[in-house]
Structure 1
Amino acid sequence: MALFASYGAADLMGDVANGLLATNSIATMIGLRLLIALEVLMPVALYLSIVLSFGALYANSEFTVMWALCVTPWRVLRAVLVPAGACALLVAFLSLAVRPWAYEHLHTLAYRSTLSLNTDALRGGTFYVIHGGNRVIHVEGRMRAEGPARHVFVMDKKDDRSLRVVSAETGYALPPNGKSGTLVRLEQTHVYEIALAPDASDRILSSTVDTVDPTAHETEDPQLNAAATPTLALLRSKNLADISELQWRFSTGISTLLLSIIAIALSGGRPRQTRYGRVGLAMVVYFTYYFLVTAMRTWLQHGQIGAFPGVWLAVLLLALGAAFSFSRVIRGRR
């Protein structure tokens, strides 16, 4: 969790330095991203902890003694399923309730942060893509440090019918007056309204001096995607992207339990082998399953596979792998 948070902080610092993100929103955004990642971090942490701890028991021949004392694999399985079951319930709660809530707040926070764009921090020669690609800002350079920008270019896509392009010789932010957000003064401005629909027409406007509010036309939050949609809303949806997201949420808790069972079998090693001997194989198994689930989600979203079995096919294969691997433990015990 600490490594993930550190990486997220480094990623957000770049946006802060470029004026695309408010400084006071960093901690909140890092916390929301961490909540989203917990549904993946917790199962893999439990999975590796079982492999490492049981690997140490095998390396020290302690499992050999336990088998001699008539400790059965089923007893070992029950001991593992108690913490694994608690972890699976927590992961299911995170996936079904916490993750969509965090995604919704993260999208809203990121969107509103970009509305308060710090124009004085924009660097020359850089394209700034915000609002999911619906707005692009570029300045060729500055007359001096934090001074007026030269050759300003702004592209706004409001809807599927029109595209708005603004080109100005110079531009600079005006001091806030307390009544509105940051205002931008543009000089020698040309505005191009480009029609995207067959029944619309193009328009060209020019002005010597123009004062604009970058947030004036942004009155509504962006439409949320499937990841930020509450689970109850997904249950009523027939959209393939929503169905894929819903199946993923229900599969996380089940896969946590199944991975724990597989970890029991993968922890067994050869005599005098260290507890790290099976970690490489365990990671290959985990990433194979994660890649398969991701592929199934993508195929389902694009209609290449049906809603059934959908993502559940990967879960079924994992269940068969868990049953086969645990049966090998039972046969080895005999």
Structure 2
Amino acid sequence: MILFRYLTREVLLTMTAVAGILLLVIMGSRFIRYFSSAAEGDIPLNILGSLMLFHLPGFMELILPLAFFLGILLAYGQLYMNSEITVMVACGVSPTHLLKVTLLPAIVVAVLVGVCSLWLTPLGAYNTETMLEEQRSRLDVSILAPGRFQEFGQGRTAYISGFSSDGTEMENVFVNEMGNTAEGEHHYVTRAAQGYQELRDDTGSRFLVLENGERYGVTPGRFGAEKLMFERYTLRLGATGRVEAVESLEYATTPALLANPDPRAQAQWQWRAGLPLMVFILALMAQPLSRVNPRQGRFAKLLPAVFLYVAYLSLLLAAVDMIGSGGWSSTLGVWPVHGLFLVLGLMLLWHSQRKGMR
């Protein structure tokens, strides 16, 4: 029991450190992308946190298998460097017992990956797409950034110089609208000293209320122009809008995919179900790959192991694409890829045991 706790702690601590670094890099890259979109006015800043949270399960289902694989390699490699496994073997710990100790934490990691891949990831992807679709359907001036000309729906372009101290009103508002009349294309240019958005709960409509300004109407090719002075002018932005139903196999639940005979649906659920299986196969390959000579250093087999993981993941993705396009039987599916690397892991394990743990 003491040996089990020691080995499990070493593997899980190393896995946590690797997973934290990988998650920081990947989420940082995605956050920068979303932050750039928010700076350009495509999405409001207040939904960035929700978007990142919804993407977290999708990141974890790919990060955890790799982190666990590297955790075993680095933790056991250090034990070989310190000759601790040599002492364990001298005390009667067989390679089979060491494999059992390795597979027990693999069960915990596989359960976490399965929860993410089978449930949380499609749910998060659905919520992300629903939120983005809602933002696209809303004509909301809250996405406007000071000092920029930005489009916000229905052919409107707006510019504001800033917000009031409490952030409820816009200052120096400029709005350009284009419309079609019997005489041709017509332009309306509205300028106001202040403006704010108003939502009417009874109708669900939103309005841009402008105060103290002028409105000009111009038709290209005509010398005349219309001018309107106002103290208060209201532009109807539209209703809150119905969010279109998000329909994609990526967002479908796993039971729905199982009941769908479409090859793309079969490929999608096999991808989800194969990720927890991938954890056990990687653990099987990691144990023999972690055995290094103290003179080589514990990083001696790290690069070949990473190449092996990349090949595994690439073949899985290629199989999913081929099944979805009809180039590969959905009955066979991705299972030959898992079988290939399972056989490779067993061969590596057999070779390591035959050679002996010295």
Question: Structure 1 length as normaliser, TM-score?
Answer: 0.76
- 153, 174, 177: which is aligned to 1:148? 174
How far apart, in 2, do the equivalents of 1:259 and 1:234 lie? 26
* 1:170-214 C-alpha deviation (Å, 9 max, x unpaired): 588974232223559998799xxxxxxxxxxxxxxxxx9996636
Structure 1 residue 274: Cα displacement: 1.5
Counterpart among 101, 115, 119 of residue 97 in structure 1: 119
Structure 1 CA distance for aligned equivalents of residues 26 and 95 of structure 2: 36
Residue 7 of structure 1 aligns with an amino acid whose one-letter code is S
Q: Is contact 1:171–1:184 with CA below 8 Å preserved after alignment?
A: no
**1:21 is aligned to 2:40:** no
* Partner residue of 1:248 out of 251, 265, 271: 271
Whether 1:329 and 2:338 are equivalent positions in the alignment is no
Q: Secondary structure at the match of 2:326?
A: coil
**Residue 237 of structure 2 corresponds to which residue in structure 1?**
213
Q: Secondary structure at the match of 1:91?
A: helix
Is 1:278 the counterpart of 2:270? The answer is no
Paired residue for 1:257? Answer: 280
SS at match of 2:197: coil
Relative to structure 1, is the Cα distance of residues 183 and 315 closer, same or farther in structure 2, using a 3 angstrom cutoff?
farther
Larger Rg: 2
Q: Match for 2:328: what amino acid?
A: I
Q: Quick one: structure 1 residues 267 and 211, their matched pair in 2 at CA, closer, same or farther if it must change by over 3 Å?
A: same
Question: Counterparts of 1:258 and 1:189 in 2: how far apart (Å)?
Answer: 70
How many aligned positions are there?
297
**Residue aligning to 2:75:** 53
Per-residue deviation, 1:72: 1.4
- What is the CA–CA distance in structure 2 between the aligned matches of 1:306 and 1:121, rounded to whole Å? 51
Q: Does structure 2 conserve the Cα–Cα contact (< 8 Å) formed by 1:96 and 1:231?
A: yes
**Deviation of the 1:42 alpha carbon:** 1.1
Post-superposition CA distance 1:139-197 (Å, at most 9, x none):
6x9698975366879xxxxxxxxxxxx9967588974232223559998799xxxxxxx
Structure 1 pair 92–148 and aligned structure 2 pair: CA distance change class (3 A):
same
* Counterpart in the other structure of 1:311: 334
Gaps in structure 1 of 5+ consecutive residues: 129-134, 154-165, 191-207
Q: Is this contact kept in 2: 1:150–1:169, CA < 8 A? A: yes
Q: What root-mean-square deviation, in Å, do the aligned CA atoms of Structure 1 and Structure 2 show?
A: 3.5
Q: Which has the higher contact order (CA 8 A, sep 6+)?
A: 1
Deviation at 1:33, TM superposition (A): 0.7
SS in 1 for 2:41: coil
CA distance in 2, matches of 1:14, 1:136: 23
Aligned to 2:315: 292
> 2-side partners of 1:138 and 1:276: how far apart?
58
> 1:275, 1:136 → 2: CA distance?
61
Distance 2:154 2:302 in 1: 45
Identify if the C-alpha distance between structure 1 residues 246 and 138 changes in structure 2 by more than 3 Å, giving closer, same or farther: farther
Whole-Å separation in 2 of the counterparts to 1:296 and 1:100: 20
Report if the CA contact (8 A) 1:55-1:275 is conserved: yes
Cα separation, 2, equivalents of 1:138 and 1:298 = 41
Report sequence identity in percent: 22
> Structure 1 residues 18, 215: closer, same or farther in 2, change over 3 A?
farther
* Greater Cα shift, 36-45 or 251-260: 36-45
Q: How far apart, CA to CA, are the structure 1 residues paired with 2:286 and 2:150? A: 48
> 1:296 Cα deviation (Å)?
1.0
CA distance in structure 2 between the partners assigned to 1:314 and 1:295 by the alignment: 10
For 2:154 and 2:312, the matched residues in 1 are separated by: 38
TM-score (norm 2): 0.71
Q: Which residue of 2 aligns with 1:74?
A: 96
